Structure 1
Amino acid sequence: MTTTPTGTPAPRTLPELLDWRTGLHPDLVAVEVHQVATLTFAEWSAGARAVAAALRHRGLRHGDRVGLVFGARDWTRYAVTYCGVLRAGGVAVPLSDRLAAGQLGHALTHCAATAVVHGDDTPAPPAPPGVVVFSDAELRADGRPDDPGPATVHPGDLAQILYTSGTTGRPKGVAARHANLTAGAPQHPRRLALAHSQRFLHAFAIGTNAGQTMLLNALTAKAAALTLPRFTPVRFARLVAAPGTGTVFVVPSIAIELLDSGALRDRDTSGVQLIGSTAAPLPPAVAARLATAFPQATIVNYYTSTEAAPAQTTMIYDPARPDAVGRPVGGQLMVADAEGHPLPAGTTGDVWLRAPHPRAYYRDDAANRATFRDGWVRMGDVGRIDADGYLYLTDRHQDVIKTGAFKVSTVEVEAALHEHPLVAEVAVVGVPHPVLGSAVAAAVVARPQAGAAGLTLPVLRGFLADRLADHQLPARLLLLDRLPRNEGGKVLKRQLTALFDN
């Protein structure tokens, strides 16, 4: 058995990981919601024990699924309840408090949840028949003594089911075992992540893969997780510039809003040493603007998925390779043909990532056969790997536009449009065309200080003329106040396509 320098067994389950951090740093703040609540490791551990005891008293059995519906104000209580469910031997099902009743009902029914726990600031959610609903306050007021130890939980036991964003269809439940969630966790106090920071800042929603990554970071990082009850650029910028904020995590849409708002103007950002972007490819033009706004920071793009985590590629922004999304960390990378055979460097094909203790779709054998193979995960993206091992994405499979005899990468067109000084956000889709089959269409949001007067289709086509081939130029333009996005910051392109039909 592997032991840590503290003499305790190396953590292999989430309850063991929390116990280990509590033993090392009981009084250290692990999670903070700005001006709302803080949570030390000792409080986290004690709260999780109490929640576990309360759930056991209410009949929770090993392997029972428990939906967790919490909003941004309740990150500390969510962390406690999540670990309490796992400590009791249950399976946590994180869900956004912004889901529609039908979406929530689908998830709870699909995973056959036995219970739902909601936050103090979240109304009791509707639940399918037979699913009991508890408030976080109700469990905390139970008054049960702390349990003497975690239930018998093994690394191979199911720990969480996280539902995908549903951008390409109905959300699927991605099941992760304890061994998957603790893979790569530090086993030495001197190996804690983000040691350059007192706090790492994010504004990710509960129920997203990015949000779950921040929760795991809180367990494995030296820095405390800092978030805010409601994101606005000004509030976020204040925390960016606050002493001790050495790491900032964003999705591209948050980065763009932060940069375009002017909220960073005249603020000292020199304390930030790392900017991490995830959930979607970071457009090179946006990465360059981040590098200017944060001159002391390393700008890193993380490429992964709910299905592939913790496998990922990471790319430190490099003007010499602006379109690259990096090389693999914590797993393996492959570009393969339609049969799954590896392709040589420079050849375009399906992107696959592989991690130890892989995830799987819950109760969906057909989708598992299409996506998972011998530990490898088909990412749903088309790309290539260069001779130095860097991955370049061409597009999502379903987003590639077939126009006439050509295939157009929406990622490439979007990156070029982001270079226009009046463009704040952009999404490119294919729309029906009577001759070509599909035509390139661009939905654009203008920068607030610029307005949309100068953004016409001829102007944009002229701007792109020396950047893209003729068949890549948008044939249609739609100006919007905002792009439709899900909780994770991804553009809902199916909704955009429908807007062009109106």
Structure 2
Amino acid sequence: MPDLLEWRTGLHPDQVAVEVHGVATLTFAEWSAGAHAVAAALRARGLRRGDRVGLLFGARDWTRFAVAYCGVLRAGCVAVPLSDRLAAGQLEYALTHCAATAVVYGDDTPTPPVPPGLPVWTCADLLTEAPAADHVPVEADHTGGGGSAARPGDLAQILYTSGTTGRPKGVAASHANLTAGAPSHPRRLALAHSQRFLHAFAIGTNAGQTMLLNALTAKAGALTLPRFTPVRFARLVEAPGTGTVFVVPSIAVELLDSGALRGRDTSGVQLIGSTAAALAPAVAARLAEAFPEATIVNYYTSTEAAPAQTTMIYDPARRDAVGRPVGGQLMVADADGNPLPAGTTGDVWLRAPFPRAYYRDEAANRATFRDGWVRMGDVGRLDADGYLYLTDRHQDVIKTGAFKVSTLEVEAALYEHPLVAEAAVLGVPHPVLGSAVAAAVVPRPPAGPDDLSLPVLRGFLADRLADYQLPARLLVLDHLPHNEGGKVLKRQLTDLFDN
């Protein structure tokens, strides 16, 4: 990773690599110089190869986060990006689990509550107090790269999962994994149609880390904003040079429903990328209408499987497909891991070069990783042309009576209702059936709760779903609970139905 930054700096030293709109910009030359300074300061403070360093930065601090991240890696240490929205207990768990040696945090982030005795430094302090790089010894077994102590097989990053199904797990990635497929020639830089790519992803998420890597490997620079609002985001969508926009489904829905795009010229946007959760076909169709010149692409991956993924250009003829593999391999297998023929439903697996693994969790590794393959936790099937269709998450499939119900299929049908802004479907306990289908929906203004009653929705869905798929219970909410990666926290919804 440090060598990748040096390569880009040599090519485009004065190009803005990362910009937080209205707050700060970071050129490649500044990024490289800052990373060298942070690495020198960390080594002067006694950190050594393999030490884990927690990185706690908010959305206003993307430029300082980028500097700190690459500085940690240049020192041969392991970066542990963390959200500044974590509760004290969650932060302590992650730092204790990875046995962090120190924490570096942003200028706009309050002093973090860390375990006793753990050193805490601001990025500004490291930059200000950094000794000259040539005064700091580099470990003898480094491989070069302008003083980097990192090697391709070394651990580079531990990223904690969102914890939607239990205790967060630390996903460990090597330098080789993070740089797999990275360009080695200036003409192969990604997103060449754009001057900049726009996103509003949080630091500490897999989507956010992908944006950081894009800043290193794309011709376009990264543009984000200190706080997401639909109006602010829409202004940047329309701004000259914004040729690529990345969203998660919840951001896409909020942007479309807000009216912030109304009357704006979106013709400059040529690519809309959606990630982190399944993009409902009805939402994809609305994006295509709002961005008539853009290709709408849905990316399917996970923190564990990256950089392997499937990509799907929106195709009305394959509305429910999530695409074919890019950057790895794909299979649908039986319970023993044996590949299944096209059309047969089974477990979805992805395989990437230089695979990731759970940090300090061998039991979870045995359940999820096998010979480079990653069990995605999803059920799906492949068609004859190799396109993947997801049935559901394993834990989300609703077993109601003698039937199994895909929550993704019911959610997709709900999104077709003109007054539904967001929808989430889950199973709730039932004394006879075992589980009943329950739906939580958010009305699209100016609709209200009475416009989306259970009889109304069941009537709308009657021609789209089988009778056993129809929701038996309904909640109409002002908003759905999401984690920072954009995924709906269905466990919280279960508690609401219990009440």
TM-score after normalising by structure 1: 0.97
Alpha-carbon distance between aligned partners in 2 of 1:338 and 1:129, rounded to the nearest angstrom: 45
Determine what percentage of the aligned residue pairs are the same residue.
86
Query: Tell me, which stretches of 5 or more residues in structure 2 are unaligned?
Result: 137-145
- Deviation string, structure 1 residues 410-463 (Cα, Å, up to 9, x no partner): 000000000000000000000000100000000000012323321000000000
Checking the alignment, whether the CA contact within 8 Å between 2:40 and 2:130 is kept in structure 1 is: no
Pick one of 22, 32, 36 that aligns with 1:45.
32
What are the residue-to-residue correspondences of 1:380-391 with 2, within 5 Å?
A: 380-391=377-388
d(CA) in 2 for partners of 1:152 and 1:426? 48
- Measured in 2, the distance between the counterparts of 1:449 and 1:46 equals 52
| Distance change >3 Å, CA 279–CA 104, structure 1 → 2 | same
Aligned to 2:398: 401
- Partner of 2:60 in structure 1? 73
Aligned twin of 1:478: 475
Secondary structure of 1:196's match? coil
Would you identify which runs of 4 or more consecutive aligned residues in structure 1 move more than 6 Å? none
Which of residues 399, 411, 414 in structure 2 aligns to 1:417?
414
Superposed CA RMSD in Å reads 0.7
Match of 2:111 among 120, 124, 128: 124
1:295 CA displacement? 0.1
Instruction: Verify: 1:341 aligned to 2:338, yes or no.
Output: yes
Q: Which amino acid aligns with 1:348?
A: T
> 2:17 touches 2:28 (CA, 8 Å); kept in 1?
yes
Equivalent residue in structure 1 for 2:48, among 45, 49, 61: 61
Measure the CA separation in 1 of the matches of 2:420 and 2:149: 54
Count of matched residue pairs: 489
- 8 Å contact 1:304–1:312 — kept in the other structure? yes
In structure 2, the partner of 1:23 is 10
Mapped pair 1:136 → 2:123: yes
DSSP-derived class of the 1:461 partner: helix
Conservation of the 8 A alpha-carbon contact between 1:114 and 1:132: yes
Write out aligned runs for 1:282-431 (5 A).
282-431=279-428
Gap runs ≥5 in structure 1: 1-13
For residues 140-178 of structure 1, the C-alpha deviation after alignment (integer angstroms, 9 at most, x for no partner) is 110412358334311000000000000000000000000
What is the one-letter code of the residue matched to 1:108? L
**Distance in 2 of aligned mates of 1:275 and 1:150:** 38
Q: Is the 8 A contact 1:335 1:352 kept in 2?
A: yes
TM-score (norm 2): 0.97
* Residue of structure 2 aligned with 1:169, choices 166, 171, 188: 166
Secondary structure at the aligned position of 1:93 is classed as strand
What is the match of residue 150 of structure 1?
A: 147
CA distance in 2, matches of 1:83, 1:431: 45
C-alpha distance in 2 between matches for 1:245 and 1:331: 29
Deviation at 1:130, TM superposition (A): 2.9
Q: Deviations over 1:263-289 (max 9, x none)?
A: 000000000000000000100000000
Rounded Cα–Cα distance in structure 1 between residues aligned with 2:405 and 2:295: 31
Amino acid at match of 1:339: D
Counterpart selection for 2:193 from 196, 201, 221: 196
- Contact 1:89–1:150 (CA under 8 A) maintained in structure 2: no
- Rounded Cα–Cα distance in structure 2 between residues aligned with 1:199 and 1:138: 30
SS in 1 for 2:459: helix
Aligned residue among 460, 463, 470 for 1:463: 460
* 1:230 maps onto 2:217 in alignment: no
Residue deviations 1:44-76 (CA, integer Å, cap 9, x gap): 000000000000011111100000000000000
SS at match of 2:450: coil
Contact kept? 1:198, 1:245, Cα under 8 Å: yes
* 2:438 paired with 1:451: no
- For 1:296, give the aligned amino acid: E
User: 1:15 touches 1:150 (CA, 8 Å); kept in 2?
Assistant: no
Find the aligned partners of 1:77 and 1:154 in 2 and give their Cα distance: 24
Cα separation, 1, equivalents of 2:76 and 2:147: 8
